[in-house]
A and B are shown apart, each in its own frame.
Chain A
């Protein structure tokens, strides 16, 4: 780590591309958003009224926004826990040394290659209440009416399912890498001490895997808050009612459909701080329990 650079300007030159990206795509738009969040702007952007903190005050008093916040948190919890749980399970199973498993493992990442919009299209068709194979089979076999257009619970479960599936491959790849990097001697020692499979997993594997789990926890949280826009846009459109009106979608509706730029900017600022705080808290409290070797 103590290698010296031959030229004192070289390090700055090397990080310059990243800094430029941050300035152009993050700092400038953020500052602009912050500025606009104090205004009410007409659709053409040629008339602005300074409204101070009114946009933020409205966020607090707006029942739809509070609902949106609640739905987003519920959704994130669903996606993170079901996603991490299921992918850890599959990764553990796929980590066995069996013939053909290399190919199988490689195929597990496929869903990640799809864009959220395509994932939405696929799931939307599959679970279409009228002709979707998934929904029709479910109804025939279990008599469960799964209609994401008319049932709030179906809608949020549907989104969480599609979102989890989309992130599945990504999670599995990281878990697999983590599992394969585990020192076998610890597991062998545990076996010699008479630990069963269940004990070995919870007492040895899981703690050793904690850096990976922690990393995925943060990535999945970010994913659940920011990247599911395409999925919502193509399937539920925030409905029925306000049932799947996640924060990013609410922002899009107000900003790009309602053309209420000021209000939408205030939302983007709040969203940014909300997720930044969440990430900070995760580092502060969960991060401490992570066992780095």
Chain B
């Protein structure tokens, strides 16, 4: 081997070594923990107990969170809440757990609804109901939200940003196609019919796209009162089986596939990319979380309408499911930090803060008191789109199928469902085949989870 060959071998070995490190390192996330030892702000005394708060609210919502923390910090001197944006929901959850593993978790972490089971079983949290010494009347929390985050009637985390999915539509396109802009579709058949009319009138190139399609599918199960998984959706015990490939699940996906073939359903990715074509006036409809409402109203150059999720004929009525996030208190927190966190929870639950949060973001006002106040102040008359999702969720039936699904490692199952929808809608795989495969995969995930949480 001459020098040149030797050098080449060395370079290759070295780069192999370096690149191989990346997948092998287990918790790179711990490297980006925020500094807990930040100088306290001028308003609070230097002896203030610091409470770190990791959240997943980016963009304008991050500013709103900073505002809440600021007002809380100025309202008293004992505690100081330090909010920290830690990436997407999934990333924040992973980082929180990784930090717990390495012994430096935040005091409070915001976890999206999908992570609820994981947090409940983690053994790493302080249930919020144990902190309440009667100061907060849980009954004042809007029922579907309260029920989502409760197990055996005990609330485990502090409801913060709750939302649900609804149908957004472009009123201008309704007018262009000769439809009544104040009569949105209520069934899937009507969504299809109206889409065709609008497309035929040349006002749009497609019918609708969906944000978070896997979540929309879950919403379909709930609004038609169909169980998504056994053990009452994991509410009465660890769920071990999903019903994705049930008659109902297959029916929904078959409908979606058919509409995709007719260019009515246009696939728009797994998260927010579906917003773009709606805003670009390409489609009259879009399914998305209520939490996008603020942003949509701001950037849409047309009149936006909102409506309940459409239904399939011939099924019972359930209710749409709460999504969004909840605040969890980690058990590594000192007693002072726990007291301080409870003070902070009470603060965000106050009427003023709840209203502020709702108005600035589009998330639900989480308490009945705040909701009543908004109503008497005339807010919903001024902004009827802000009332849609709320009316939808308050008008539904309270059944086991509509209280939301609690699954072990739900994050992975969401991903499996997302892939199955893509297979059917984009790659034209037979819906039943795609769902059978997804069901097997999801059941395996649940089995593994069960083996670790007996």
Contacts and interface: CB of A to CB of B under 8 A. Distances in A.
Given A44-B97, A44-B122, A267-B23, A241 B448 contact: no
Interface string B6-41: 001101101111111111111001000000000000
Interface string B407-428: 0010110010011001100110
B133 interface: no
Given A29-B25, A227-B19, A152 B270 contact: no
B267 A292 contact: no
Contact of B97 (A25, A63, A243, A259): A259
B282 interface: yes
Contact of A240 (B12, B276, B415, B422): B422
Contacts of A152: 426-427
B153 interface: no
A36 interface: yes
A272 interface: yes
B283 to A, nearest CB: 10
Contact of B411 (A150, A259, A272, A283): A259
Contacts of B123: 44, 46
A257 interface: yes
A241 B422 contact: yes
Interface stretch (A2-10, A159-167, A211-219): A211-219
B426 A131 contact: no
Nearest to B100: A44
Contacts of B419: 64, 239, 241-242
A65 B280 CA distance: 37
Contact of B24 (A18, A272, A276): A272
Interface stretch (A74-82, A188-196, A248-256): A248-256
A44 B281 CA distance: 45
B268 interface: yes
A258 B266 contact: no
A239 B270 contact: yes
Nearest to B5: A292
A222 B15 CA distance: 8
B141 interface: no
Contacts of B453: 42, 47
A261 interface: yes
Given A150-B266, A151-B426, A257-B94, A292 B4 contact: yes
A32 B26 contact: yes
Contact of B270 (A47, A237, A242): A237
B52 to A, nearest CB: 18
B26 A29 contact: yes
Nearest to B2: A292
A68 B224 CA distance: 35
Contact of A222 (B4, B19, B24, B423): B19
Secondary structure dominating the interface of B: helix
B97 A131 contact: no
B130 interface: no
A35 B174 CA distance: 61
A151 B422 CA distance: 10
B217 interface: no
A26 B20 contact: yes
A43 B119 CA distance: 10
Contact of B276 (A128, A226, A243, A267): A128
A33 B26 contact: yes
A177 interface: no
Contacts of B448: 40, 260
B310 interface: no
A279 interface: yes
Contacts of B409: 43, 258-260
Nearest to A268: B23
Contacts of B12: 215, 218-219, 222, 279
Contacts of A252: 23
Contact of B415 (A226, A251, A253, A267): A253
Which residue, B3, B4, B19, has most C-beta atoms of chain A within 10 A?
A: B19
Nearest to A257: B90
Interface in A229-275: 229, 237, 239-243, 248, 251-261, 264-265, 267-268, 271-272, 275
Contact of B426 (A43, A241, A260): A241
Given A130-B282, A253-B415, A149 B268 contact: yes
Contacts of B26: 29, 32-33, 36, 255, 261, 265
B124 interface: yes
A244 to B, nearest CB: 11
B415 A257 contact: yes
B4 A211 contact: yes
Given A240-B267, A256-B29, A257-B90, A272 B422 contact: no
B61 interface: no
B256 to A, nearest CB: 13
B452 interface: yes
A159 to B, nearest CB: 15
A45 interface: yes
Interface string B379-403: 0000000000000000000000000
B451 interface: yes
B346 interface: no
Nearest to B280: A130
Which residue, B2, B11, B97, B448, has most C-beta atoms of chain A within 10 A?
A: B448
A141 interface: no
A29 B25 CA distance: 6
Nearest to A214: B8
B335 to A, nearest CB: 22
Contacts of A268: 23-24
B415 A49 contact: no
A292 B5 CA distance: 8
Given A40-B448, A260-B448, A149 B412 contact: no
Which 6 pairs show the lowest CB-CB distances between chains A and B? A258-B412, A29-B24, A268-B23, A226-B19, A240-B426, A241-B422
30 contacts: A26-B18, A26-B21, A29-B24, A30-B20, A30-B24, A36-B26, A40-B451, A41-B452, A43-B97, A43-B118, A43-B122, A149-B267, A151-B426, A152-B426, A222-B12, A227-B19, A239-B422, A240-B267, A241-B422, A242-B419, A248-B22, A248-B23, A255-B23, A257-B90, A257-B412, A257-B415, A259-B411, A260-B412, A275-B20, A292-B4
Given A46-B123, A292-B2, 19 more contacts: A25-B21, A32-B24, A42-B452, A43-B118, A130-B282, A150-B266, A150-B267, A227-B19, A239-B426, A240-B422, A241-B427, A242-B423, A248-B22, A252-B23, A254-B412, A258-B411, A260-B412, A275-B16, A279-B16
